[in-house]
Amino acid sequence: MAVVQAFAETGRVRAALNLVGLLALGGLLAGFLEQPTPALQSYLYAWIVFVVLTLGLLGLTLLGHVLKSQWTRPLMRIFEAGGGVPMLALMAVLFAPILLNLPRLYIWADPEVVRQDHILHLKQMYLNVPFFLGRFAFFFAVWMLLAGLLRRSSLRQDQAGDAKERDYRTNLSSVGLAAFCVLVTFAVTDWIMSLEPHWFSSVYGIWFLTQMAVTGLAFSTAVVLVQANKRPYAEEVTPKLLKDLGTLLFAFSMFWAYITLSQYLIIYSANLPEFVPFYLHRSKQGWQAVMWIVAALQFFLPFLVLLSPAAKRNARVVLGIVLVVLAARLVDTFWIVMPALRHEGFELRWTDPLALVAVGSFWFSVFLGQLRRGALIPSYLPMKEADSHASH
């Protein structure tokens, strides 16, 4: 009876989310009819926010099956729901308004601009619309294949208890994780770095891979801790799990800071005209305040709080930190994307939060639907925990 009630409640929440998403899309359409380019900029920003979250959860799915550690067990179904085939299909479909308006957002997609720009003309072999569409389709096809195979194997082991499925997922994820990293590097180059096609960075891929890991881990940890007093998470949220998740978040935040600072210092010390505009645009006209907010929320606060072992064992403290990190991810993505599109300085338009609501409503609707399609906690144990039980 409780299961039926839970499904009914989920159905009502999803219906409400879909309605909110449709209303928000209607508002965005009105904004598009009035001022097309600013509305599309807002939509692209929102899409990037949620595709980073989706790919972060898919990457953590792959990483979890490679590591086979105990901390992955209560989070695995969240990884699978947020980075699974239906979610990837949703993000591919939601990219359609951007594909239909590429020249408004990407100057390399405008033939007139390319004819007048020698650098863009030289890059046209790679930065052209047909090849861009082909790469987009290829990225999502590979990611959906990986996500689908892993999800089916995980559910099969849940039902049949065959330990060979775990080895299959580990072998697939070992290769899949390497492919995932390569494809994400090309994807963020296409979708984000090419917004400023005269500029490039050799660490852009690993920079965004780290952002995806931080976003996915913070989100999944928040989902578990919000439900920490309810079954089945009540039995899983132990001081050890909290310590593991806090330590992982601390490590990912430190690595993000290292990559971010390294990129800045290399560009600053070289002081070459083809590199410095990226930071020049983001350190004046109001963007410098956004940069310091990101540094405080994404690095300094988590670093100082999570240094304490006691803080990492406190569920409320960890939940508070992951919510701060998620807020920082919204601000950081805005700081990365919008200066490439809005050259007159920092500007927050009414379509920016509306676009987040529109894309986010559909994202959470699919997420809740996928989360209810299997047991919230896998019935099988990770390899290391299973070996420990067997030895006793």
Amino acid identity for residue 12 in this structure:
R
Condensed to tens digits (0 to 9), the pLDDT of residues 14-52 reads 999 999 999 999 999 999 999 999 999 999 999 999 999
What is the band of 195 on the pLDDT scale with cuts at 50, 70, 90?
very high
85-143 pLDDT, tens digit each: 999 999 999 999 999 999 999 999 999 999 999 999 999 999 999 999 999 999 999 99
Query: Each residue of 226-257: b (16+ CB within 10 Å) or e?
Result: ebbeeeebeebbeeebbbbbbebbbebbeebb
Distance CA 263, CA 246 (A): 26
Provide the residue count of the chain. 392
Asked if the model's pLDDT at residue 373 lies above 90, the reply is no
The torsion angle over the Cα atoms of residues 42, 47, 49 and 53, rounded to 10 degrees, is 170
Res. 383 pLDDT band, cuts 50 70 90: low
Count CA within 13 A, CB hemisphere, residue 33: 5
CA angle 58, 63, 64 (to 5 degrees): 95
Angstrom distances, CA of residue 365 to CA of 92, 141, 356, 362 = 16, 22, 14, 5
List of residues 6+ apart from 122 with CB closer than 8 A: none
Q: Which residue has the tokens 């046209």?
A: 124
Amino acid at 178: A
pLDDT higher than 50, residue 388: no
Has residue 70 got a pLDDT over 80?
yes
Per-residue pLDDT at 391 = 43
Amino acid identity of 258?
A: Y
Q: What is the mean pLDDT of the chain?
A: 92
Residue 163 and residue 45 in contact, taking contact as beta carbons nearer than 8 Å: no
Cβ distance 74 to 241 under 8 Å? yes
Residue 343: alpha-carbon gap to chain centroid: 26
Which of 72-76, 118-122, 352-356 shows the highest mean pLDDT? 352-356
Token pair of 5 as six digits: 């009630």
Report d(CA 312, CA 302) in Å as an integer: 11
Residues 288-324 pLDDT 10s: 999 999 999 999 999 999 999 999 999 999 999 999 9
φ, ψ of residue 107 in degrees (nearest 5): -65, -25
Residue 250 CA to residue 349 CA, distance in Å, equals 33
So what's the pLDDT on residue 143?
98
